[in-house]
Amino acid sequence: MKQEENMIYFVTGNGYKFNEILDLFSKEHVKYNLKQNNIKTIEIQAINIKEVASFKLNSIKGQIDGTYFVEDAGFFVDTPLNGFPGVYSSYIMKTIGNKGLLRLIDDFENTEAHFTSVIALYFKPHNKNYFFEGKIQGKISRTIRGSGGFGFDPVFLPNVMPSMTFAELTTEEKNSISHRGLAWIKFIRFLKENMN
């Protein structure tokens, strides 16, 4: 592989996400040289995460010479909020945060929630876009718990480990079950299969 063919850009403003994938690249022996790129992308308010990721990917066209990808995630409170905040997750986190979210569901005994992650990749050798998705199902905690992770992690109880919030897990534990972890694995498998 030539030097520039070996480079892959992750376009994100979120350093936490970047470190997560950097760690996985080294653990999984992915031969690509990963670089964070902070260029401004366009984030539309579509109805699903894949559409948001796809639009974001296309908004980068012509600005990076090479292979690049974005990742978009959303938090959906299916019961009782019918999927809210979903594609509005960033905005809700910035405005009312976890405290505000817990207030919205205060009166409800049963909750159902999930995270979805979509990685959208422009793969230069094929001149084509690819999508990799991951999802995890869980419930909402009554209280804010834990100091790890970011965003809604302190209020999400994954069904596979219902006594812990995401924020109480180590990064490794979270990655092994999370929406993004599952999407990362599919993405890495694709890169390995298509490496020269």
Looking only at residues 87 through 116 of this chain, which bind ligand ITT when binding is defined by CB under 6 A?
89-90, 93, 115
Residue 20 as a binder of ligand ITT (CB under 6 A): the answer is: no
- Write down the least CB distance from residue 184 to ligand ITT, Å: 11
Q: Respond yes or no on whether the N-terminal peptide bond of residue 158 is cis (omega within 30° of 0).
A: no
Among 8-16, 25-33, 119-127, 139-147, which window interacts with ligand ITT (CB under 6 A)? 8-16
Residue 58 binding ligand ITT, by CB under 6 A: no
Contact present, 173 and 20 (Cβ < 8 Å):
no
CA–CA separation, 51 and 87 (whole Å): 10
Cα angle value 28/30/34 (rounded, 5°): 120
Query: Are 78 and 112 spatial neighbours (Cβ–Cβ below 8 Å)?
Result: yes
Q: Residues 86, 134, 138, 149: which binds ligand ITT (CB under 6 A)? A: 149
Question: What one-character DSSP code corresponds to residue 155?
Answer: G
For position 132 contacting ligand ITT by CB under 6 A, the verdict is: no
Among 8, 21, 60, 73, binds ligand ITT (CB under 6 A): 73
Q: For ligand ITT, which is the closer residue by CB, 75 or 122?
A: 75
Residue 6 or 14: the one with the smaller Cβ distance to ligand ITT is 14
DSSP string, 69-82: EEEEEEEEEEETTT
Number of chain residues interacting with ligand ITT (CB under 6 A): 21
Phi, psi dihedrals of residue 175, rounded to the nearest 5°:
-60, -30
Q: In the annotation, is 23 catalytic?
A: no
Cβ 151 vs Cβ 93: under 8 Å: yes
Q: How many CA atoms, within 13 angstroms, populate the side-chain half-sphere of residue 62?
A: 2
Catalytic residue among 23, 72, 78, 106: 72
From first CA to last CA, the distance across the chain in angstroms is: 6
- The answer to the question of residue 129 lying near ligand ITT (CB under 6 A) is no
Q: Which of 180, 182, 183, 184 binds ligand ITT (CB under 6 A)?
A: 180
- Active site (catalytic) residues: 72
Give the binding site for ligand ITT (CB under 6 A). 12-14, 17, 71-75, 89-90, 93, 115, 149-153, 166, 178, 180
